[in-house]
Each structure stands twice: as C-alpha cells, then as structure tokens.
Amino acid sequence: MGAHPTAAAPPRPSSLLGGPAGVITVGILLAIAVLLPVLNLAVPPSSALHVPTWALALVGKYLCYALLALSIDLIWGYCGILSLGHGAFFALGGYAMGMHLMREIGPRGVYKNPELPDFMVFLNWQELPWYWHGFDSFAFACLMVVLVPGLLAFVFGWFAFRSRVTGVYLSIISQAMTFAFMLAFFRNDMGFGGNNGLTDFKDVLGFDLQADTTRAALLALSALAVAAAFVVCRFIVTSRLGKVLIAVRDAESRVRFLGYPVASYKLFVFTVSGVMAGIAGALYVPQVGIINPSEFAPANSIEIVIWVAVGGRGTLYGAILGAFAVNYAKSFLTGAIPELWLFALGALFIGVTLFLPKGICGSLPRLRGRRRPPPETTAVARGPLADVPGAQP
Amino acid sequence: MFKRAIRAGSMALVTVLWVLAALAAARPAAAADLAASLDQLARGDFAAKGAAVEAIAGSGHERAEAILQALIDGQLAQVPATGQLVITAASGSVLRLIDPISGAGVSEAERGAVAPITINNRLRAAIRGALGSLTLLSADADRRRAAADAVFRARDGAVVPILETAIARETSDRVRARLERALSALRAVNPALPAADRIRAIERLAASPDQEVGSLLAGVVAGEADAAVRAAAEEALKRVEARLALWGAVGGLFQGLSLGSVLLLAAVGLAITFGVMGVINMAHGEIMMLGAYTTFVIQEWIRTNAPHLFDYSLAFAIPTAFVVAGGVGILIERGVIRFLYGRPLETLLATWGVSLILQQTVRTIFGPNNREVGNPSWMSGAIEVVGGLTLTYNRIWIIVFSLIVFALLMVLIARSSFGLQMRAVTQNRRMAASMGIRTGYVDALTFGLGSGIAGIAGVALSQIDNVSPNLGQSYIIDSFMVVVFGGVGNLWGTLVGAFSLGIVNKVLEPYAGAVLGKILVLVAIILFIQKRPRGLFALKGRAVEN
C-alpha cells in the first residue's frame, strides 16, 4: 500500500472527492437537490417532465438510506467494523426528530391536548415526562439528533473497542444492542408511543409536511446532506487518520504494535458514523411521516449492510449507489411480486458475498478511465485479507 | 362426537341424581315455587332477582341449572305481550322460545321481539356461585371439582348445606379436599359463626395455601370486625404468603430451567459450528424451524395414515428432523460457506441470505400462519406438585431431552474419532491439517452435526411454541447471546450459559416484567463481553490469538 501522491500535499478538490467517480456522485446529488424540486414545483403536471410528488417522497427516502449506507461504509469499508446495529442510531435520530414533530402538533391532535401528545392522553398520563422537555424547540431537537446517537455510539464503542471486541463478536453485540432498544421502545411505559411509535405529524417549523414545497425542500436538504456527508467521509478517509483506519482494517495487531492507539481511532470513526446515521434518521422521519420501534429490528440493520456490499464497500459512492439500487428493487418487487422479495434479498446476500465481493463499484472495470485507482480501492481488491482472523487479534 | 356423548350422558346422570336427591330430601319439587321465583326474576329489582336466584338454586328442580345458565348467558327473556318468561335459542334467523319449566319448545319469535332479563355483576357472581352449587353433586369428578372452586370464589353462604351433602358423598380424595377448602372458606367469612369455628376454618385453609386462599385471608384481615379472627387470619396470611413466595421461587426456577433447556438445545449446535469454524450461522434459527416443520409434516402423515401411532410421532420426528436439518446444513456448507472460509463477516451475511430464503420457502409452502403440532399424550397435562405449583409435562420432558442431547454430544466429542478430529480443528486448524486431518471434511460434517442438533431443537420447540415461519427469528439472538456468554469452543460454557441466562431471565421477570428483564439481561451480556471478550469459558493459549 504505497503512499498516495496527494496524501501529503494539500488536497485538490477533485482528489478530495476521489476522482471522476466522486465528482460525478456529488454532481448527481446536487442535481437531484436542484432539479427534482424544480421539475415538481415549476413544471405543470401535464408536462412529460413533471416529477410527481410521490416520486419526491421516494427519492427523499432513498437519500436518507444512502446517508445511512455511507455511515456503514465509513466503518465497515474503511475500518473493518461490521456493525449490525446501526439501525439503532438511525432510529434514535428519527425519534429525536419525531419528538419535536409531535410537540409541534400542539392542540391539533385528536384529543386537543395542548401539552401532551395523543398517545400520552390515551395512556392517561398527566404530564410530559422529563425527557420530553426541550423538544418543543427545533434547535434543541437538532442537537439531540446529533448528541443522542453520537453519545450512544461513543459509549458502546468505548466499551467495545477498549476491550478489543472485534469481528463477529462486535457484530453480534451490536445486534443485541439494537434488539434491546427495539424491546424497550415497544413498551408503552417508555413514553415513546410504544407499538405505534410517533406519527400524525402536521408540520415542521410551520411548514405543512404534506405540502409539495415542504417535501421538495426536505428532498433538497437530504440530497445536500448526503453530498456533505460524502465530502466529510472522503476527507476523513484521505487524511492521515484515514490511512491509519485502513491499516487497522487490514492488520489491526500490527498497527497496535506500531504504537497507534487503535481503540481511539476506531472510537472516533464509529462515533462519526453513529452521528451520520442519526442525521439520516432525522431527515427520514418528516419525509415518511412515522417512526416506530420496528426501525430498531435487527433485520433492518443487516439490510443496510447489504446495500453497502452490493454497491461496493470501501468506495463511499458505492454505498450510495447500493442504497438506491437495492431499495429501488425492494420498492418495485414488494409492489409487483411481494412473495419474491425475500427470495431476491436472500439471493442478493449470497450472490454478492460469493460472486461480487467488491460490489458493483469495485467490480466495474476501469470506471475511472486512465486514472490510477486510489489506494483504498486496491486494498479492497485484496479483499479476503481484510477479514482473515490472523489479521485481527 | 365421543365427547358430546359423554357430556350428554353425564347430563342425564346429573338429572337422575337430582331427582333422587330431591326425593331423598322429601322436598316437593314444586313447579309452582319455581314459577313464583321466575315471576320475581321478571318483575323484581336486582335485590329481588338475587333472592329469586337463590330460591331457584335451592328449589332442587331439575330445570334449575338450565334456567340459571340461560339467565347468565342472557338467554332468559320475557315476551313483552304476555309477560311470559322463555329461554331463547338462536335457530337460523329467528329465536326458538322454550318454556323454562317444562323445557319444551313453545314458539318462535323474531330477534329483538323478546326482552332479555337484565342482570348486574353482583347478580352474575351470585348465579355463578349457585350454578357451582348445583354441579357440586355432578357425577363427573372434574365438574364437581370445578364447582367446588366456583363455590370457593362466590362465597355464597346459602350453598353450605349442599356442600356438606357433597362432602359426605364424595368418593375422590382430591375432590373432597377441594370441597372442604370451599367449606372452610365459607365458614371463615361467615360472621354468624362463633369465632372458634371460624379460626379453625382459617387454620384449615392455611394448611393448603395457594393464591386464592391468600387473597381470601387478605380480605378477612382487611374487613374483619372480630379481633381474634383477624389476628388468626393475619398470622395465617403470613404463613400462606411465605409458602407462596417459596413456591413462586421454585416455579420461577423451573421456568428458568425450562427456558435454559430450550436455549441449550438452540445454542449447542451454534456453539459447535462457531467453535470449529469460527462461523456465525445466521440461518441456524431457520434450521430449527425446519425441524419444527418436519415434526408437523410427520404428525400430519401419522394423523391421516396411522392415528394409533400418534403417541410415537416424536420418535419418528427426531431422527427425521436430524437428517433433514443436517442435510440442509451440509448443503449450505458445501454450497455457500465453503467458499467464504477466512471471511467470517461475509459468511455471516451470506448465511443471513440463506435464512431469508429458507424462511420465505417455508412461508410459500406452508403458509404464513401458525401450524398446529400436537403434544403426544405422555407430554400433555401437568403435574401438581403442591397447591400453588404445577409443572407441565412437556417442559419437564424438554429439560430431560436437552440434557440427554447434551450428554450424547459430549460423548461423541470426547470419545469418537470424529470428535477428536473436531477438537483438533477447533484448537489449531493448521496443525490439524498438517497431521493429516481433512479439515474441509470435518467442517462439512461438523456443520451437518450442528444443523442436525438444531433440527432436533426444532422438534422440541414445536412442543411448546408456535410453529410458524418466524420461529427461528425469535431464538436466534438469544442463542448468540448464550454462545458468546458461554465462550467458544467449550460446550460446558454453552451449558452454563444457557441455564444461567434462562434462570436469570425468569427470576428477573416477576420484578422487572418480561420485556424489561430481557433488556436487562441483554445489557448485562453486552457489558460482560467487555470484561471477558471471549466468554465465560474461553479457550486459552496461542491458538486463540489468531
């Protein structure tokens, strides 16, 4: 793994984005952010170029998934941490945003209670639980969207990485974590709406959530968030810190023996990833209009991983592509032939791991034309070593 | 069909007995009295209705039970035009009207053309008690027993004479105990009796403590005017509660053992594959599901072709499930996992894909709903150890079964040459390979063995849980937790892990609730892993480090 020529030099924009593929990715995301809202709002419905509102909602949802996939790719593709519990961070971010949206409903709920959300009135609660205080402020909710998943990721990672829980052990306990959250949020006593979760949102910051303009704005915001996250991830993985992360992925003990505090590196990237997942959840909730405990289901978290695997781990733009491709296939199949979807998803898991270990983006020949692929892609090409037990203590 | 015949027969017997009893008591089964009570039911307020219910129950008339039953079912109604009382029975779109006293059909009426006699909760309790007393003399021991318990709950002093008659005639010791318990309860709460009698009754109640006795005594303690009786009740309540707490703990322990045995069966196969190959098989739960469905198919076959063999269905199901599940396991190993050695995370994803496919296949073939798998007769029912503690036979058998499976597995691993090779590969794959062990072959067989045991676990699960395509999902995380907690490569760890998790789960349940208890256990395991990343019984030495 030779030093990349640009690693030491101040990064030029195109190298920060990772060459043409990165430029194209960011370009497409920006185009989505600008074009889709324009085509929806400014072009009359009779025109062939008009984008219907349901398509906005769908693309907006996919963008949130793409952000979630990026957060997985950052830790799995570049640091070898396979988290099967990232749905928990996503859902916690979603719940934080959902709590704000619940507070914004105010007295317009079914029970017309200005203080309590409907489900609390239904459960005969007399006053707002302490942890709901502050969520009437949008700024506070946004802070919590970042803080809660970030803190959880930090605490979980601190425990796990400090005691060198790696490989499948980490995968399993992260899965147990999200499972525990799911059980907890299903309880009515938790004060998060139990089974039904939080729903019936009316508006955000005074804008009607059902209005086309609000949907378009949320879509644009999501696209910009994915683009920004892509740039941040690129920045992290091309920095010196990123080099250490890749080294940890490929040979953790050697990096430790070289004197690097492996746990701190992992903890940093895991926390960043958790925060990204939380933001994805916060963007997701206003667009789909509901958040409930099934988002914590372990199966959901594993599905995120397959998006990344399909797109190609360790490429970042592959994660975005994978999230779109798999979720489009899911929307299509569950609509057309529902019983086929699980077969297709299962076959995807098996097929990708057996025949396409580098994913679509890793396997497409010479995507970048004459440019030499950056080192992290070559490292992925070495594939198996990344997970050989011998490479990990 | 058969059951109905028995019920009809017992009804006839009851009727005959009642007639005899009525004759023996030389009480004229006066239809006139009954008519007067019915009239009172139709016109009176709730207090009058209560008196009427008592009168009907005490009349000894052969139709008393039917009338009271109709009353509590809302089928006793009044024809507004004539004021006549009738029992209504739905027959197609109209109601058939039956004369309450003669039991003969009278006429038919439109729905809504008759006004049902209204009752309130207090009356409903009184009727239940009265019905209980009427069945106290039933020929069927189970019905007498149920009636005794109904009387105990209703606490209606009017049935004391019937109760005493019933006790005198009772032939079964177990039923007599229930009858005496009911009588003691009635005496204990009867303020008209002398305090000494009541205290004796309380003492007798406390000698056979259960939940209901506890609440009865608590009621006496709370509402009793007589200080001596209250003191006796208080003291008795304390003893009852202590016993109940003890039995609650024993019951919890049993529940925990039962859960632990299920976890053991589910996790031991996982532990083997994980220990030997370092592979987490996410399809393990679905392989258990296959075992459960194998049991279902075999039972269906036996039901249609050889019903007399039904009690032996599990004897066929266990080997078949082992072969089916083991075969599927070997297929998975040869078809998927073989290509992914050295990449445990990818294996995890691929086997997850396998699990989705298996799940959907079963859903397509058998449908998404629960399938009914029956208990053979020797596994159904329960044994009542003492008053408050019953243990179900299926759970007892599963505990025994899991220990047998575990013991056989230990013998296989410790004594057979295959076991020796397996241990060698677990401890040091490269060294084992250089000693001439065909590690690929051992892997395939090990995976087959682990999956086969999962299939057997599925047979056991089919006896206590719903057989549905989601069966595997609900056990997979728990099984992982057991393996991770117990430590890899050591089956004793799995045993200890399974039973300790099962018991802790069930012991926490009464205090924290089922869900919160489970969450606490999960969190505890996550924290435990930080302390001992390789589990309770970790393999030691250099081999572990790679």
Write out pLDDT tens, residues B48-74: 888 888 888 777 677 777 888 888 888
Chain A touched by B423 (CB under 8 Å): no
- Least CB–CB distance from A168: residue in B348, B354, B360: B348
Tell if the CB–CB gap between B348 and A171 is shorter than 8 Å. yes
- Least CB–CB distance from A349: residue in B344, B356, B361: B356
Pairing status of strand B382-386 against strand B85-91: unpaired
Stretch B76-87: mean pLDDT: 81
Tell if the CB–CB gap between B357 and A187 is shorter than 8 Å. no
Write out pLDDT tens, residues B201-217: 888 888 877 777 888 88
pTM attached to this predicted model: 0.76
Q: Provide the pLDDT confidence category of residue A27 given band limits of 50, 70 and 90.
A: very high
The reported pLDDT for the residue numbered A367 is: 47
Structure tokens at B389: 């503690």
Which of B274, B526, B532 has the most A C-beta neighbours within 10 Å, making it the best mutation to test the interface with A?
B526
* Residues in A touching B355 (Cβ below 8 Å): 346
Structure tokens at B278: 């370092």
Q: Which of A189-193, B186-190, B214-218 has the highest mean pLDDT?
A: A189-193
Query: What's the mean per-residue pLDDT of chain A?
Result: 85
Cα separation, A64 vs A79, whole angstroms: 22
Cα separation, B373 vs B370, whole angstroms: 9
> Is pLDDT at B510 greater than 50 in this prediction?
yes
Provide the β-strand partners of residue B107: B97
The reported pLDDT for the residue numbered A390 is: 39
> Is pLDDT at B7 greater than 90 in this prediction?
no
Cα separation, A311 vs A324, whole angstroms: 9
3-class SS letters over B250-272: HHHHHHHHHHHHHHHHHHHHHHH
Q: Which of B230-239, B334-343, B350-359 has the highest mean pLDDT?
A: B350-359
The reported pLDDT for the residue numbered B17 is: 52
> Is pLDDT at A384 greater than 50 in this prediction?
no
Residue type at position B350: A
* Residues in B touching A393 (Cβ below 8 Å): 545
Distance between B331 CA and the closest CA of chain A, angstroms: 14
- Least CB–CB distance from A169: residue in B342, B473, B533: B533
> Is pLDDT at A371 greater than 60 in this prediction?
no
- Least CB–CB distance from B546: residue in A186, A187, A390: A390
The DSSP letter of residue B193 is S
Residue type at position B542: R
- Least CB–CB distance from B280: residue in A172, A346, A349: A172
Chain A touched by B221 (CB under 8 Å): no
* Residues in A touching B344 (Cβ below 8 Å): 167-168, 387, 389
Write out pLDDT tens, residues B403-447: 999 999 999 988 999 999 988 888 888 899 999 999 888 989 999
* Residues in B touching A302 (Cβ below 8 Å): 349, 352
Mark residue A234 as left, alpha or beta (left: phi above 0; alpha: psi -120 to 50; beta: remaining): alpha
Structure tokens at A7: 């690693």
**CB atoms near residue B74 (< 10 Å):** 12
Interface of B with A in 273-302 (CB under 8 A): 278, 280
Chain B touched by A185 (CB under 8 Å): no
Tell if the CB–CB gap between B530 and A160 is shorter than 8 Å. yes
Chain A touched by B353 (CB under 8 Å): yes
**CB atoms near residue A92 (< 10 Å):** 30
3-class SS letters over chain A: CCCCHHHHCCCCHHHHCCHHHHHHHHHHHHHHHHHHHHHHHCCCCCCCCCCCHHHHHHHHHHHHHHHHHHHHHHHHHHHCCCCCCHHHHHHHHHHHHHHHHHHHHHHHCCCCCCCCCHHHHHCCCCCCCHHHCCCCCHHHHHHHHHHHHHHHHHHHHHHHHHCCCCHHHHHHHHHHHHHHHHHHHHCHHHCCCHHHCEECCCEECCEECCCHHHHHHHHHHHHHHHHHHHHHHHHHHHCHHHHHHHHHHHCHHHHHHCCCCHHHHHHHHHHHHHHHHHHHHHHHHHHHCEECHHHHCHHHHHHHHHHHHHHCCCCCHHHHHHHHHHHHHHHHHHHHCHHHHHHHHHHHHHHHHHHCCCHHHHHCCCCCCCCCCCHHHHHHHCHHHHHCHHHCC
For B371, list phi and psi in degrees, rounded to 5. Answer: -105, 145
* Residues in B touching A183 (Cβ below 8 Å): 515, 518-519, 522
Query: What's the mean per-residue pLDDT of chain B?
Result: 82
- Least CB–CB distance from A354: residue in B336, B477, B522: B336
Chain A touched by B524 (CB under 8 Å): no
* Count, residues in chain A: 393
Mark residue A289 as left, alpha or beta (left: phi above 0; alpha: psi -120 to 50; beta: remaining): left
Burial of A275 (0-12, 13-18, 19+ CB in 10 A): buried
Buried-state track B140-176, b at ≥16 Cβ within 10 A, e below 16 = beebbbbbbbbbbbbbbebbbebbeebbeebeeeebb
- DSSP, collapsed to helix, strand or coil, labels residue B394 as helix
Which residues are CB-neighbours of A319 under 8 A, at least 6 positions away? A66, A69, A70, A72, A73, A77, A307, A308, A311, A312, A313
Task: Give the residue among B308, B328, B320 at the shortest CA–CA distance from B450.
Answer: B328
Cα separation, A40 vs A29, whole angstroms: 16
* Residues in A touching B361 (Cβ below 8 Å): 343
Tell if the CB–CB gap between B477 and A393 is shorter than 8 Å. no
Cα separation, B69 vs B76, whole angstroms: 9
Chain B touched by A155 (CB under 8 Å): no
Chain B touched by A231 (CB under 8 Å): no
Distance between A208 CA and the closest CA of chain B, angstroms: 37
Task: Give the residue among A53, A61, A88, A33 at the shortest CA–CA distance from A274.
Answer: A88
- Least CB–CB distance from B519: residue in A82, A169, A184: A184
Q: Provide the pLDDT confidence category of residue A383 given band limits of 50, 70 and 90.
A: very low
For A391, list phi and psi in degrees, rounded to 5. Answer: -85, -5
Interface of B with A in 29-88 (CB under 8 A): none
The full DSSP string for B292-309 is HHHHHHHHHHHHHH-GGG
Tell if the CB–CB gap between A353 and B350 is shorter than 8 Å. yes
Which of B346, B354, B361, B520 has the most A C-beta neighbours within 10 Å, making it the best mutation to test the interface with A?
B346
| CA A314 to mean position of chain CA atoms | 15
Task: Give the residue among B35, B207, B59 at the shortest CA–CA distance from B133.
Answer: B59
* Residues in B touching A339 (Cβ below 8 Å): 360, 363-364
User: In this predicted structure, which of A141-145, A363-367, B217-221 has the lowest mean pLDDT?
Assistant: A363-367
* Residues in B touching A176 (Cβ below 8 Å): 477, 480-481, 522, 525-526
- DSSP, collapsed to helix, strand or coil, labels residue B416 as coil
Task: Give the residue among A196, A115, A112, A185 at the shortest CA–CA distance from A148.
Answer: A185
Between A and B, how many residue pairs show a Cβ–Cβ distance under 8 A? Answer: 137
Which of A342, A348, A356 has the most B C-beta neighbours within 10 Å, making it the best mutation to test the interface with B?
A342
Q: Which residue of B has its CA nearest to A181?
A: B519
Tell if the CB–CB gap between A175 and B529 is shorter than 8 Å. no
Sign of the four-CA dihedral B360, B475, A274, A93: positive
The two most distant CA atoms of chain A are separated, in Å, by 67
Tell if the CB–CB gap between A346 and B355 is shorter than 8 Å. yes
Distance between B288 CA and the closest CA of chain A, angstroms: 18
Tell if the CB–CB gap between A172 and B522 is shorter than 8 Å. no
Distance between B341 CA and the closest CA of chain A, angstroms: 9
Write out pLDDT tens, residues B364-416: 999 888 888 888 888 887 887 766 677 888 889 999 999 999 999 999 988 99
Chain A touched by B515 (CB under 8 Å): yes
Write out pLDDT tens, residues A94-141: 999 999 999 888 888 888 888 888 888 888 888 888 899 889 899 999
- Least CB–CB distance from A347: residue in B346, B353, B533: B353
